[in-house]
Amino acid sequence: MKAIEVKNLNVSFGNFKVLDNISFDVEEGNITAVIGPNGSGKSTLLKAIMGFIPYKGEILIYGKPNSEQRKLIGYVPQHFEIEKFLPMTVKEFLEFNLTEETLPKKSHLEHHLKELDILNYKDKLLRELSGGQLQRVLFCRALINDPKILLLDEPISEIDIAGQKEFYEIIRFLNKEHKLTILLVTHEITIVHHFATHVICLNKKLVCNGPITLLFKEEILKELYGREIFVYPFNKPLEKNES
Amino acid sequence: MNLEEYLFLLKPLILLIFLGVTYSLLGIFVLLKRLSFFSDGIAHASVFSLAIAYILGLELIPLGILGGIIFSSLIYFLERKTRIYSDALIGLIFVTFLSLGIIIVSFKKGYQPELLNFFIGNILTLSQFDFYLVISLSSLILLLTILFFKKFVLIFLDRNEAILRGFNVNLFEYLFYLILGIATILGIKIVGIVLITALLILPPMSSSLLSRSFKQIVIFSPLISIFNIFNGFLISFLFNFPLSSSLVVSNSFFFFLVFILKLLLKL
């Protein structure tokens, strides 16, 4: 079943074209990495899917227009700015995100806090959390309204290496236990192939779309980044070094 | 001392408590969305509509409210239709309509003491009509704020998340701008254009220093506001200081006192 269908998507800011006639599908249950150089339109793609920006083309979520299906999407942003003056606890923050429809599921909150290992932080203030802890809280926020799709925009850019490992474990866990379809914008192509099932290569136009093994094709990465890129350990330059 | 002589102070006191509670809750959102310059801009731009009312001999507050609605809408519209930063747009509206207001007042010959009342307020200018109008409108604003409190929090915390949750974000943002624009005008006769923003932002600022949760900031903010209204009234009465300045100074001192105590006690 198709979780996301993007058909002939075009996004422009003034005269500047950011996405040029993009079409692809994401099957339910996939973990899809969206990769590409800076300014290639990766984050714009996520914003278009969520309907945050105007676009031309068609975006369907489970067969219906995205504007009708937004509630099926959970989103973890690249950057979340907390007002420093604001004394808001983790629990309060999460409860504010429960809608009238999901309020009866308030009891699920404790469960999500537990499975993301942040139950101990529930009375901590948001401003006192580390980058990794805040990341988990944002994951929890994305989960409390029972989404079917999780969109992640460079979610590890503000966490340390140890936190990154935990992050990938969470991604796998959510995909497996919550049956979530995951679309993840990332620069970490050397890591992402360990857990993503599919890849979308974007550079304003769609360069590739398919199984994650496409990442190991030098010609694709060269077309995408405009120069020779390799993904450890499947790279030729390293082989040359070893010999 | 004959207390009956001071009964005329009761009405402004009641009115200020109504306004203070409303402002202290709105102020949380003003800080959350960094809108303190917005209310300052609306207050100053309202000189334009107040000046028209003054020249034509009309009631000040209704025309001021009309100005508040127009300026809030104008800022909201310009924010979405231009790429210029919000504070620059507010600055544009602020200086343009303030200047136009001053030009309009200058059509009236001679010294204009009412001009000073616009800027620092004067409780003696408060009519019976003003009293009931301000009480009813501030009650309505308070009601709307409480009714949509959760929606405003979510929208101002994370606009994108609110869109995903299916809220009509544009509508609620516009509603808040209108509420804030109108609320700003309501206190102008007592506190004045220059100092009105202080009553919006100082109680939640002090409250944030004392709070360990959002629930606490919502409870403490109106309490601190009411405490400082009584305090400001007392200072004004005892030392014969202007009421508006006494209210602001009381709020500011309270903030610094809490701030210093927190530093000393290492809280």
Q: What is the pLDDT of residues B158-197, one digit of tens each?
A: 999 999 988 899 999 999 999 999 999 999 988 898 889 9
Report whether A236 contacts A218 (CB < 8 A): yes
How distant is the alpha carbon of residue A192 from its chain centre?
A: 12
Sequential DSSP letters for B212-242: SSHHHHHHHHHHHHHHHHHHHHHHHHHHT--
Separation of alpha carbons A111 and B150, rounded Å:
23
Rg (Cα) of chain A, in Å, rounded? 19
Q: What is the mean pLDDT of residues B130-157?
A: 94
Phi/psi at A149 (nearest 5 deg)? Answer: -125, 140
Residue A236 has a pLDDT of 43
Residue B225 has a pLDDT of 97
Q: How many CB pairs under 8 A join A and B?
A: 60
Sequential DSSP letters for A112-124: HHHHTT-GGGTTS
Whether B94 shows a pLDDT value over 70: the answer reads: yes
Closest Cα of chain A to B150: distance in Å?
6
Closest Cα of chain B to A6: distance in Å?
18
Report whether A109 contacts A171 (CB < 8 A): no
**Contact flag B214-A52 (C-beta cutoff 8 Å):** no
Report whether A129 contacts A121 (CB < 8 A): yes
Whether B23 shows a pLDDT value over 50: the answer reads: yes
**Contact flag B217-A87 (C-beta cutoff 8 Å):** yes
**Which range has the worst mean pLDDT, A161-170, B128-137, B205-214?**
A161-170
Separation of alpha carbons B119 and B130, rounded Å:
17
**How does residue B85 score in pLDDT terms, banded at 50, 70 and 90?**
confident
Mean pLDDT of chain B: 91
Residue A156 has a pLDDT of 73
Identify each DSSP E strand in chain B by its residue range: none
3-state secondary structure of B148: coil
**Contact flag B31-A145 (C-beta cutoff 8 Å):** no
Q: What is the mean pLDDT of residues B1-22?
A: 82
**How does residue A104 score in pLDDT terms, banded at 50, 70 and 90?**
low
Separation of alpha carbons B40 and B196, rounded Å:
7
pLDDT in tens, B240-255: 999 999 999 999 999 9
Report whether B143 contacts B156 (CB < 8 A): no
pLDDT in tens, A16-52: 899 999 999 999 999 999 998 888 899 999 999 999 9
Q: What is the mean pLDDT of residues A120-131?
A: 90
* Number of other residues whose CB lies within 10 A of the CB of residue A98: 20
Q: What is the mean pLDDT of residues B82-106?
A: 91
Residue B3 has a pLDDT of 64
**Contact flag A71-B164 (C-beta cutoff 8 Å):** yes
Q: Give the residue among B12, B29, B10 at the shortest CA–CA distance from B180.
A: B29
Whether B4 shows a pLDDT value over 80: the answer reads: no
**Contact flag B213-A52 (C-beta cutoff 8 Å):** no
Residue A231 has a pLDDT of 64
Q: Between A136 and B250, name the one with better pLDDT.
A: B250
**Which range has the worst mean pLDDT, A215-224, B47-56, B121-130?**
A215-224
B-chain residue closest to A126, CA distance: B213
Q: What is the mean pLDDT of residues A148-152?
A: 94
B-chain residue closest to A142, CA distance: B161
Whether B116 shows a pLDDT value over 90: the answer reads: no
Report whether B60 contacts B53 (CB < 8 A): yes
Model confidence, pTM: 0.87
Separation of alpha carbons B144 and B115, rounded Å:
32
Whether A146 shows a pLDDT value over 50: the answer reads: yes
Q: What percent of chain B has pLDDT over 70?
A: 98
Interior angle at CA A197, CA A193 and CA A201, nearest 5:
70
A141 touches chain B (CB under 8 A): yes
Distances (CA, A) of B124 to A43, B2, B133: 57, 19, 16
**How does residue A148 score in pLDDT terms, banded at 50, 70 and 90?**
very high
**How does residue B121 score in pLDDT terms, banded at 50, 70 and 90?**
confident
Q: What is the mean pLDDT of residues A67-82?
A: 89
Nearest to B160 among A52, A83, A93 (CB): A52
Q: Between A238 and A114, name the one with better pLDDT.
A: A114
Separation of alpha carbons B222 and B25, rounded Å:
7
Residue A235 has a pLDDT of 43
Whether A60 shows a pLDDT value over 80: the answer reads: yes
A-chain residue closest to B29, CA distance: A86
Whether A238 shows a pLDDT value over 70: the answer reads: no
Phi/psi at B34 (nearest 5 deg)? Answer: 55, 55
Phi/psi at A151 (nearest 5 deg)? Answer: -105, 130
Q: Give the residue among A173, A214, A164 at the shortest CA–CA distance from A191.
A: A164
* Number of other residues whose CB lies within 10 A of the CB of residue B107: 8
* Number of other residues whose CB lies within 10 A of the CB of residue A140: 24
A25 beta partners:
A5
